[in-house]
Structure 1
Amino acid sequence: MEPQSTFDILQRLLRQGEIFLLGLMREWNAYQIVIAAGIFLLAWGFAKIIGARMHLWMRGLEGWPLWRMRLLVMFHRRLRLTLFVFLIWTVTLIMREATWPSRSYLLGIIAMLATAWLLIAMATRLIRNPLLRFLVRYGGWAWVTLLIVGLTDEARNLLDSAAVDIGDAHFSLWLLLQALVLLAVLFAGARFLSVTSSATIRSNEDISPSMQVLAIKVLQVLLYSSAFFIGLRTVGVDLTGLAVLSGAVGVGLGFGLQKVVSNLVSGIIILLDKSIKPGDVISLGETFGWINALGARYVSVVTRDGKEYLIPNEDLITGQVVNWSHSNEFVRLDIYFGTAYGDDPHVVRRVAIEAAKGVGRVLSNPNAPVCHIVGFGDSSVDYILRFWIADPTKGLTNIRGNVYLALWDAFQEHDISFPFPQREVRMLGEDAAKDARAE
């Protein structure tokens, strides 16, 4: 529109505002404002008294579902406005029955505004994102206020007059606000559906962990993409230009984002072939730990010392990965030791096997520990002790240490000795000693 049209709209708004202010000067309108102010003070006082007692009662609650506690907290934070809505509607209905409707007209408008603000405030508490919550809440408050006081057409024309025309496209401030509020609502709804559906998918034991992650990510992409396109189409944005934009983005991906795309595709392949899943124990180079989470770009691996490595998905596809729990969780561990030549090897093997069986995490069935001679060293007979565990996520070094301690105790009990290097110093005759001193 032309600037003159915008000026005319502002003039009409100013005239209506002047008429509204003059109307407040009338006797009964002034009385209604005083009554509304008194109701607000009364609600503020009741909220002080009830709120403190309600807070103490809420602190003593135990065993309530989380959603009920959140609802109580939300109600407690909006207690003053809730009491105000209840009291002003009570007073308004009584006055409508006791006197002329015009003498409670302003109270009715205030009651409708307060009710709408309360409902919007409570509904937007479900939105976790602070920016989305801010946009939806204040946009909703502004719009219902204009709707109730009857200024929607003037406000819409004013916002629509601030526009920019690009070709056949008309972009106005009204269109921008519509898009922001609608997209915020749709994204909040998509997030709520995503969280609810994700919890349902994770609780289904018939779906493998890797397929759960894949299903959740596909669902999130579909929900957020649908919210974006539906929001733009609803406010009247032409999406034809997005085809050209997507082509340009594709060219950019081909040249500048090769690694990012490679990691994204590798992540999808990992989820589809189920080669690794959350909870698996893997080794990649010098990194040993268990899978904490599968991301779109990387895999989170937590080691025993608490370090969290973010390994790109491409490395897991192209590198050699040891998955200690891919097909099953059974892991075989080997430890080496040696005994003196004077100890009976048959007894040593039997004692070593019994000692390993006595350690808590070592399995006796279906794979029992075994012990074999692997060589005759310079000062010891060398053995290998092999045993199996079913819980590699609890650590490997600690179980090896426990088995070594069990061997030490068992060998001490059966008088089996661990050899160690020994050296002898021989003194030759007196002549040799003199020659040595002479040198």
Structure 2
Amino acid sequence: MFAKFKLLLSLFLVCGALLTPAAILSQVPSETKTIDSTLVNQPKAIPVINIIQEMELINKQLKQIENKIEPKKRVIEIDSLLPVYEALIKERQSYVQNFIKANPNRQKIDNQINRWNGYRDYLNSWESTINVYEERNTILAENIISKEKIWELTYQNAIEKNVPPELLINIKSVLDEVVRVNEIFKNENIYFLKLESKINDQILIIDKVIEELIALKNSDVYQLFYLRHPTLWKTSFKINKTDSSERAGVESVSDNIRNIFNFAKSSENDIYLFLVVIGLLIAGVIYIKKAYLKYDIKEPQDDRQKAKDLIVNKTVWGIVFISILCAKFFFINTPQLFDDILAFLMLVCALPLVQHYMDKRFKNIIYFVIFIFILDTAKTYFWFASPHYRIYLLVEAVLVAAILLYFTYPYLKTRNLFQNQFGGFLIRLTPVVYLLVIISIVSNILGYTNLTDLTIKICTQSSELTIVFYAILKMANGIALGTIHNHFGRKENFDPIKKRTLELKILQILKVFVAILWAVYFLKMIDLLRPLSDFINGVLSEPYKVGSITFTLGIILTFIAILVVSFLITSFISFLLDGKDVKLKILKLPKGIPAAISLVIRYFILAFGFILAFSSLGIDLSKFNLMAGALGLGIGFGLQNIISNFISGIILVFERPILPGDTVEVNNLLGTVNKIGVRSSRISTYDGAEVVVPNNNLISNDLINWTLSDTIKRIEIVVGTTYKSDPNEIIEVLTQVANEHKDVLKTPPARALFTDFGESALNFKVLFWVYFENGLQTKSDISVAIYNRFKELDIEIPYPQRVVHLPQGLKDIQKRETR
């Protein structure tokens, strides 16, 4: 990984040195650079000979620009709705003042804060829309100002050159038109600024109201052990004026429905984008389902089989659950009723997903959790006087205790049934829940209603959070395992241990990630997320100084996070698109093209990640121009081979003379290409060795690819017979033996040829075609079959014979020795 980082950084610096004009200018004295820059940016008069053509061009451009600055429908709509919204905010502000005087509970304060956050987000969307038009107008205005200066100079130059009066009038008319369009831009920007200022005034009012509500929530009255009410037996159940003032904090169901329709109208573009995202997610889930069905799980394990059953058998429930979950995260600060409907539907959809993993004894507990959710949510839409609200909480706490007792009694026996499962951990928390319920009941009776609200919220909403996030975890596990299963299922041969190790690693990461999300939402539920986040932000934003460098921990963590995310994204893309079996059948791309696409995307993401990471440090990359120019020369000489291999790797990926999985032969090396890397490629030989070959060797040397266009290979077997044999019979026998083998291809057919008259034999050659992977075995089988057939037909395969003639003297000596 570090080697890739160094190589990529070196290439980035080389490209910067070669492509950045400032690197070239860095060799010129600074004064010369300043003068040249001024001359380049200085507007010049249009030559008289080109005025007619430029006049036609500028007239077309002015018409296009004027069409762009016409009042937009969205801005006009914002301008017309703003007075209505100002009146609404003023009315709601008076409600909040009465609401604060009524001493409401924490839940109603939270509802008010959420409502005002929704108002602010709505106005922020208006402000963002206007900012888009302002930025666009600024860019167009800069162009118009430049053209105005050019035509002023052109008009003065035309006067000096004594051009014909008719042409001078035309130039003046063009100049006047440019000035007029420039004035339109100025007026348009003034209008936008005024409108944005009005919106910002309303946002400041909203922020002030939210600060008042947060200050009320953090006051001593809402501390846990503050005695807010008298004991329950001393409480009067008559409704007084103070209680009735709390009605300002309760928004009716009809108001909520109206707010939902208004929200839908104002978020039309967001809804379209949301539907596109959901469409992509649905396609992804269906693709994973097909992968489960196409590639059967050969080594069934409990987690993989359950993940497959969840995706295959609960597809519709899973898609709806994911859609609702995305809506929950996609639409922020929505109307309260819309938010609660999404939460209710999420619990309902989580029911079949979670039950798949639960013991049959606890499968029905989710129905009771949904009932408690409805009971807890109803407090938002129905007004209760303080005494009645306390009775409501008391009944809710008793119901929670009764449900818990029903499912866990007897506790010790139930706990012993679950030892190593997630359910066992939850059952061991039962005494804690009992304790919270008892605290809720006792504090409610004694009048410590702040403590009552917190404890009952933990008992009810934590169970809802657990069910939802457990369903999220199981759906994520199913999708992740399906992706891994699909990746390895495409391969003819793979290492099951490697696959299982990757699966366990991904499952562990998902568990940790979901646990962190659950903790964040739990802290938000008990109102500890804001102080914790403020503390962490304070630590991360604390400045530190080392020498002349000032930095914060937040900047460093941001830098590291951007790099890590970039590498994770590139690794995931490589996992999906790299490999010999990836062809992207949907796009009908040939083998090897996905790997090239993957390479381009990964390098682009890495380069963008490095630029973004350095920008997060506040580093001006233009200051590295001189360094890049100096290093570029050194890199050109010192890393010549590395750069050559890098470029060769890119050529290999795009030209595709070899692909992962091909059988190649280069420099007396025969093996299978495993991977084409940045600097080198890996080739596995048939002896079991893995050879790292520099990419430049594969480009510059003669390379034989046995499987590039097809995977068939011609095999040749040479055999000789004695001069007594009939060549016609031998050719027939050899052809017959070759055609009888099951792996020999029928097209082209096998052939036997008589090659020459040898010194000791008649030489024949049999040629046949087989698939490359069967070549060695087929050659061996046919050679043995030829031997057996020759033996049956008494056809002799001769061996070389030589007649040795000895001199006469040696013959006499040999005779004497034999005597």
TM-score interval for Structure 1 and Structure 2 normalised by the shorter chain? 0.5 to 0.7
Matches within 5 A, 1:328-407: 328-365=710-747, 367-389=748-770, 391-394=771-774, 396-407=775-786
**Alignment partners' CA distance in 1, 2:569 and 2:628:** 26
> How far 1:229 moved relative to its partner?
3.9
Aligned length: 380
Deviations 1:64-103 (A, max 9, x none): 429969x999999765676759x85995799499824411
**Alignment partners' CA distance in 2, 1:327 and 1:413:** 41
Structure 1 residues 159 and 60 mapped into 2: Cα distance closer, same or farther (>3 Å)?
Answer: closer
Matches within 5 A, 1:172-211: 172-181=552-561, 183-184=563-564, 188=568, 191-192=571-572, 195=575, 202-205=582-585, 206-211=588-593
> How far 1:155 moved relative to its partner?
4.4
**Alignment partners' CA distance in 2, 1:257 and 1:418:** 60
Structure 1 residues 219 and 178 mapped into 2: Cα distance closer, same or farther (>3 Å)?
Answer: closer
Gaps of 5+ in 1: 1-19, 29-56
Q: In the alignment, which of 293, 317, 336 is matched to residue 699 of structure 2?
A: 317
Secondary structure, aligned partner of 1:175: helix
Tell me if structure 1 keeps the 8 A contact 2:558–2:613: no
Residue type matched to 2:553 in 1? L
**Alignment partners' CA distance in 2, 1:129 and 1:229:** 32
Tell me if structure 2 keeps the 8 A contact 1:282–1:288: yes
> How far 1:305 moved relative to its partner?
3.1
Matches within 5 A, 1:2-401: 59=302, 62=305, 64-65=307-308, 95=440, 99=444, 100-104=448-452, 107=455, 148=529, 150-164=531-545, 170-181=550-561, 183-184=563-564, 188=568, 191-192=571-572, 195=575, 202-205=582-585, 206-230=588-612, 233=615, 238-241=620-623, 247=629, 250-365=632-747, 367-389=748-770, 391-394=771-774, 396-401=775-780
* TM-score, structure 1 normalization: 0.66
CA RMSD between the two structures: 5.3
Tell me if structure 1 keeps the 8 A contact 2:595–2:653: yes
Tell me if structure 1 keeps the 8 A contact 2:583–2:590: no
**Alignment partners' CA distance in 2, 1:302 and 1:328:** 20
Residue type matched to 2:799 in 1? F
Secondary structure, aligned partner of 1:202: coil
> In structure 2, what is the equivalent of residue 45 of structure 1?
none
Secondary structure, aligned partner of 1:400: helix
Structure 1 residues 95 and 293 mapped into 2: Cα distance closer, same or farther (>3 Å)?
Answer: same
Secondary structure, aligned partner of 1:279: coil
Deviations 1:240-283 (A, max 9, x none): 45656655664453233222221221111112222112332221
**Alignment partners' CA distance in 1, 2:513 and 2:639:** 33
**Alignment partners' CA distance in 2, 1:335 and 1:375:** 15
**Alignment partners' CA distance in 2, 1:103 and 1:230:** 47
Residue type matched to 2:554 in 1? W
Secondary structure, aligned partner of 2:541: helix
1:413 to 2:761 alignment: no
- As a proportion of its length, which structure holds more strand? 1
Residue type matched to 2:776 in 1? T
Q: % of aligned pairs identical?
A: 22
**Alignment partners' CA distance in 2, 1:119 and 1:246:** 49
Deviations 1:330-380 (A, max 9, x none): 322222111001111111111111111112222232x22222222222221
Tell me if structure 2 keeps the 8 A contact 1:280–1:326: yes
**Alignment partners' CA distance in 2, 1:81 and 1:186:** 36
> How far 1:324 moved relative to its partner?
1.9
Structure 1 residues 63 and 285 mapped into 2: Cα distance closer, same or farther (>3 Å)?
Answer: farther
* TM-score, structure 2 normalization: 0.38
Secondary structure, aligned partner of 1:374: strand
Tell me if structure 2 keeps the 8 A contact 1:113–1:148: no
Structure 1 residues 336 and 432 mapped into 2: Cα distance closer, same or farther (>3 Å)?
Answer: same
Deviations 1:367-404 (A, max 9, x none): 22222222222221112222222x1133x332221221
Deviations 1:8-37 (A, max 9, x none): xxxxxxxxxxxx9xx999999xxxxxxxxx
Residue type matched to 2:817 in 1? R
Structure 1 residues 270 and 184 mapped into 2: Cα distance closer, same or farther (>3 Å)?
Answer: closer
**Alignment partners' CA distance in 2, 1:357 and 1:351:** 10
> In structure 2, what is the equivalent of residue 35 of structure 1?
none
> How far 1:163 moved relative to its partner?
0.9
> How far 1:60 moved relative to its partner?
8.7
Gaps of 5+ in 2: 1-219, 229-299, 313-352, 359-419, 481-504
Tell me if structure 2 keeps the 8 A contact 1:284–1:321: yes
**Alignment partners' CA distance in 1, 2:751 and 2:800:** 27
Structure 1 residues 319 and 186 mapped into 2: Cα distance closer, same or farther (>3 Å)?
Answer: closer
Secondary structure, aligned partner of 1:415: coil
**Alignment partners' CA distance in 2, 1:108 and 1:257:** 67
Tell me if structure 2 keeps the 8 A contact 1:88–1:107: no
**Alignment partners' CA distance in 2, 1:93 and 1:349:** 99
Secondary structure, aligned partner of 1:333: strand
Residue type matched to 2:783 in 1? Y
**Alignment partners' CA distance in 1, 2:617 and 2:518:** 16
**Alignment partners' CA distance in 2, 1:336 and 1:183:** 61
Residue type matched to 1:220 in 2? R
Structure 1 residues 74 and 260 mapped into 2: Cα distance closer, same or farther (>3 Å)?
Answer: farther
Which one has the largest radius of gyration? Answer: 2
Secondary structure, aligned partner of 1:325: coil
| Larger RCO (CA within 8 A; separation ≥ 6) | 2
**Alignment partners' CA distance in 1, 2:669 and 2:636:** 31
**Alignment partners' CA distance in 2, 1:252 and 1:68:** 56
